[in-house]
Chain A
Amino acid sequence: AQSVTQLDSHVSVSEGTPVLLRCNYSSSYSPSLFWYVQHPNKGLQLLLKYTSAATLVKGINGFEAEFKKSETSFHLTKPSAHMSDAAEYFCVVSDNLRIKAAGNKLTFGGGTRVLVKP
């Protein structure tokens, strides 16, 4: 079974400073990896997706993530935080159910709550 570990449950940054959210995964084969963001009382919005193409993935709102197979990591970064970035962020791996002749499910990390200070 695949799993995802988000190394920080909370991250606090000042507006205009870089953001780093750390994620490690375990997978028995080449995974699809995602970052989703969830603002308070809202659904999940896709930030970016990795599917074995370029290892550096650019997403929306200035976010990007780098896939490092040797480190089994998929960390999310943004050069300059904005107040609107305050939210919960989830690192996600697509868990293939092929062994059961089925499709896939998403396995979520525990989430990282980002606080942006003015």
Chain B
Amino acid sequence: ETGVTQSPTHLIKTRGQQVTLRCSSQSGHNTVSWYQQALGQGPQFIFQYYREEENGRGNFPPRFSGLQFPNYSSELNVNALELDDSALYLCASSLKIFKTSDTDTQYFGPGTRLTVL
């Protein structure tokens, strides 16, 4: 059974640029959630995708957007990068029995470390 994988592991961008982060969900999972973890803090929820549709969003601006593909892999896109976007971005996958289920366990990938200069 393959776990959650993310690419790239590290990324350096400059302010104003755009970035795409990728996540492959664990085999058999249909839901992907993205989190931002700033240095020294707990992760913050960005959004969740269930069967290719956004299924909940945290308090992040519209320049944070995402996609989920038919194979349930996912992308996180961030436009107009700001210095405060520097963080570890974590992807988590889970298996939901139905859209509003809240008992699924989320399994995390190793993360992508984004540095914005």
Q: Measuring CB to CB, which residues of chain B are less than 8 angstroms from any residue of chain A?
A: 4, 31, 33, 35, 41-45, 48, 50, 55-56, 58, 90, 92, 96, 99-111
Contact = CB atoms under 8 A, between A and B. Distances in A.
Contacts of B103: 32, 51, 94
Given A34-B105, A51-B103, A103-B100, 16 more contacts: A32-B103, A44-B108, A45-B108, A46-B105, A46-B107, A90-B43, A102-B99, A103-B31, A104-B48, A105-B45, A105-B56, A105-B58, A106-B45, A108-B43, A110-B42, A111-B41
A32 B58 CA distance: 19
Interface of A: 32, 34, 36, 42-46, 49, 51, 90, 94-98, 100-111
A43 B90 contact: yes
Contacts of B35: 106
A106 B110 contact: no
Contacts of A109: 42
Nearest to B48: A103
Contact of A98 (B92, B96, B102): B102
A90 B42 contact: yes
Nearest to A44: B108
15 contacts: A43-B4, A90-B43, A95-B45, A97-B56, A98-B100, A100-B56, A104-B48, A104-B56, A104-B101, A104-B104, A105-B45, A106-B92, A108-B43, A110-B42, A111-B42
Contacts of B111: 43
Which among A95, A108, A110 has the highest number of chain B CB atoms within 10 Å?
Answer: A108
A43 B41 contact: no
Contacts of B99: 101-103
